[in-house]
């Protein structure tokens, strides 16, 4: 098994055969660990698989020897996760005009800052972990119909029209269910944020 101080040789010093052999070994060694790390922060399995492949792709195209290979790979994975979140800010953070209060907006802005900040300091890592734990717990509290439409549309990126065709439910019904799910999730996240402020 590769250790924390592994040097992955990427330049001309290493032969093509040596690099291929080393890469195969690294993929076998790190795939499970990296996927476990990514899935804790990326609920959608397909997105997590894409991020994992992006990490290995970046490794194969990296032009310098890599010391501290484990740290390098997990840092790349964190950056890929942050980039993906930044490109697709979920409806969880979009304003709901008729019900949103100033406190709601402040809480969402705080979480948005933590999730999309490129700074991977220990505090941000801890807060992100809390966010995803709370989100998963809140999802499990939802009625099945609301939870499923949120997962399909928000996490798996399936359009409402497609969900409607597959389930027989109207698009308006699906939108309404997702809206209730978002409100519940926001309430839980706001409560967590207030608790953190209380103890900070």
91-199: which CATH topology?
Arc Repressor Mutant, subunit A (1.10.10)
Q: Model pTM?
A: 0.52
- Give the span between the Cα atoms of 104 and 87, in whole angstroms: 22
Beta strands in the chain (DSSP E): none
84 burial class (0-12, 13-18, 19+ CB within 10 angstroms)?
A: middle
Domain 16-87 in this protein, CATH class: mainly alpha
Q: Helix 69-87 crosses helix 16-39 at what angle (to 10 degrees)?
A: 60
Q: Which two tokens stand for residue 39?
A: 């899935």
Q: Which two tokens stand for residue 111?
A: 């979480």
Question: Any idea where the domains of the chain sit in the sequence?
Answer: 16-87, 91-199
Q: What is the pLDDT of residues 13-50, one digit of tens each?
A: 456 667 677 788 888 888 999 999 888 777 778 888 99
Is residue 160 helix, strand or coil? Answer: helix
Q: What is the pLDDT of residues 164-190, one digit of tens each?
A: 999 999 999 999 999 898 888 888 878
- Give the span between the Cα atoms of 8 and 15, in whole angstroms: 12
Q: What is the pLDDT of residues 72-126, one digit of tens each?
A: 888 888 888 877 766 655 555 554 444 444 555 555 566 666 666 666 677 777 7
């Amino acid at each position: 098994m590769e250790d924390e101080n592994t040097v992955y040789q990427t330049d001309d010093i290493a032969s093509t055969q040596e690099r291929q052999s080393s890469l195969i070994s690294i993929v076998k060694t790190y795939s499970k660990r990296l996927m476990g790390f990514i899935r804790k922060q990326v609920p959608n399995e397909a997105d997590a698989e894409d991020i994992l492949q992006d990490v290995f792709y970046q490794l194969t195209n990296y032009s310098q020897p890599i010391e501290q290979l484990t740290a390098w790979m997990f840092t790349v994975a964190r950056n890929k996760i942050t980039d993906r979140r930044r490109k697709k800010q979920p409806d969880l953070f979009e304003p709901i005009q008729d019900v949103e209060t100033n406190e709601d907006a402040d809480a969402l802005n705080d979480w948005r800052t933590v999730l999309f900040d490129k700074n991977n300091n220990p505090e941000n890592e801890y807060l992100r972990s809390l966010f995803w734990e709370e989100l998963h717990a809140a999802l499990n509290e939802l009625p099945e119909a609301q939870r499923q439409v949120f997962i399909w549309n928000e996490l798996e990126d399936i359009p409402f029209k497609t969900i409607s065709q597959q389930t027989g439910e109207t698009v308006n019904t699906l939108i309404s269910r997702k809206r209730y799910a978002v409100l519940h999730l926001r309430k839980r996240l706001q409560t967590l944020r207030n608790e953190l402020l209380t103890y900070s």
